[in-house]
Amino acid sequence: MAQPETWRTFVALPLSPAVIEKLSAIQRTLRRIGTEQAVAWVNPDNIHLTLFFLGDIVLERRQPVETALGVVARHAHPFAFNVQGLGAFPNVKRPRVIWVGVEDSTGRLALLHRAVNEALASIGFQPEERRFSPHLTLGRVRQRASREEEQAVGEAIRQTEVGVLGEVLAEELIFFRSVLKSSGAEYTPLARYRLGMGD
């Protein structure tokens, strides 16, 4: 019996072109410092603020997800967040993920994340247990990177000053499909939702 087709999916907020360009500039700076071979860099056009990673879902679950997200978006409100700072998970001494931070003084980003989490949990998805740590992934240190290369990446992060890159107005929620290719991930919007359209 054939396995049902599955799609790798996630929910995210898009960024402004101006912020994407600044993130791209940071990537270029880090590359020049000598992290080129050790890091798999994210295509700047693919950088976004992930709210929920659903993983591989069977296609029959697409419609319930889209319906649940539509309800969340209608009851949410547009808000702004700042993009600022540079760091790594788990830390700069042993970097695996290079990120730029997100600052949400309104608290609305956390509320939106919780609403998405609860809505998807209500239709059978495993809720995210870990604390929400909003960030924008610039690149991932390759598994084959040596300890010296890891240290070089960490030093490059420490040397790179990143202040406030800009403000992003969150007005739209997007349900994406991700297709992994040899050239990198390719993201296709499956559904878009304007925030606050239920008011």
Provide the token pair at 85: 């700072």
Retrieve residue 52's tokens.
């929920």
- Whether 48 is a known active-site residue: answer yes
Selected catalytic residue, list 48, 75, 77, 113? 48
> Using CB atoms within 10 A of its CB, is residue 190 exposed (0-12), middle (13-18) or buried (19+)?
middle
| 4 backbone dihedrals φ, ψ, rounded to 5° | -65, 145
What is the distance between the alpha carbons of residues 136 and 50, in angstroms, rounded to a whole number?
Answer: 8
Catalytic choice (75, 77, 113, 135): 135
Rounded Cα distance, 24 and 58, in Å: 34
Nearest CA to 115 among 79, 168, 73? Answer: 73
Measured in residues, the chain has a length of 199
- CA 97 from chain centre, in angstroms, equals 12
**End-to-end Cα distance, the chain:** 47
Catalytic-residue membership of 135: yes
Tokens of 94: 């042993």
β-bridge mates for residue 56, sequence order: 8
Residues labelled catalytic: 48, 135
